[in-house]
Amino acid sequence: MNKFEENINAAWKKYQSEKKDELYPNIMLLGISGAGKSSLINSVFKRNLADVSNVKPETQGFDNIYYGQKYGLSVNLIDTAGYEMNQGDTYGNTVNETLKNGVRNEKIHIIWYCISIANERIEDMDIKILKDISNNAQIRNRVCVVFTKCDLDSENGEKATILQKIIQDKVRYDLPCFETCNDSSLELDIQKLIKWSAYQIDDKDLREKFIASQMHDLEAKNDRQMKQ
Ligand SMILES: Nc1nc2c(ncn2[C@@H]2O[C@H](COP(=O)(O)OP(=O)(O)OP(=O)(O)O)[C@@H](O)[C@H]2O)c(=O)[nH]1
Ligand SMILES: [Mg+2]
């Protein structure tokens, strides 16, 4: 082990003992335009942060981050532009690129793949993207399906059950599914979803984040020295 690695390891041990569990998962929301991704972000944070529309594609880009620390919540949510029909491969390519490069220097830890139960069907694109990300070793065990608009389901959640069965048959049997809606009087699975997400973060993530911040500090220090 060289001096640099020794220093990093010593600093990592110190960091672990002081700041354990401080890493909030970065969660990217995906799904068709109008699925209710931005509405779900507002429901999780209990505030109107993200713009919502019932008439047109609303969210632009893939880099709208809402940091939980600002709002007393232990998750960071990344809102994205939903796909539109006939978009071809561009959506899948953007998803893959974002998973590879992260967003604003943040790694993506988790995906909430949103599917509205109001549509009563699952689009081919949903199946394709879910399959793709289920084959991506970096993220495969950290993907879940979030059924949105479940206030429009029957009391025993029949529509969600039918859609879940399709996902199990066509994508993967063990993909976790959660039910949500934007009506705060119906709690459904939002708290469960947050807990599940926090539970996915492990020591490897903490170490990765720590090394990245050390490298960032080092680069800043080198920059300062170059300027002197
Ligand atoms: N009934 C009901 N309507 C909802 C719910 N969530 C969202 N909506 C409605 O669905 C429409 C689309 O919601 P958005 O949150 O803008 O959808 P989005 O997935 O962010 O769409 P893009 O930004 O275009 O990708 C809006 O009219 C919302 O009011 C819900 O839980 N129940
Ligand atoms: Mg949106």
Distance between Cα 41 and ligand 2 center (Å) = 9
**119 touches ligand 1 (CB under 6 Å):** no
Report the alpha-carbon distance of residue 159 to residue 71 in Å, rounded. 33
**179 touches ligand 1 (CB under 6 Å):** no
Q: pLDDT by residue (tens digit) across 17-65?
A: 766 557 889 999 999 999 999 999 999 999 999 999 998 889 999 999 9
Distance between Cα 162 and ligand 1 center (Å) = 21
**80 touches ligand 1 (CB under 6 Å):** no
C-alpha distance from residue 63 to each of 77, 134, 155 (Å): 10, 22, 36
C-alpha distance from residue 138 to each of 51, 96, 143 (Å): 30, 11, 10
DSSP letter for 148, please: E
Q: Which residue is listed with tokens 């909430």?
A: 112
Using most ligand atoms within 8 A of CB, pick from 28, 29, 53, 125 the residue to mutate for ligand 1: 53
Q: pLDDT by residue (tens digit) across 71-90?
A: 989 899 999 999 999 888 99
Residue 154 phi, psi (nearest 5): -70, 170
**Which residues have a Cβ under 8 Å from the Cβ of 87 and sit 6 or more positions away?**
125
Q: pLDDT by residue (tens digit) across 103-160?
A: 988 899 999 999 999 988 999 999 999 999 999 998 999 999 999 999 999 999 999 9
pTM, full prediction:
0.89
Closest ligand 1 atom to residue 52 Cα is 16
Q: Which residue is listed with tokens 């939002």?
A: 190
Question: In this predicted model, which residue has the larger pLDDT, 98 or 224?
Answer: 98
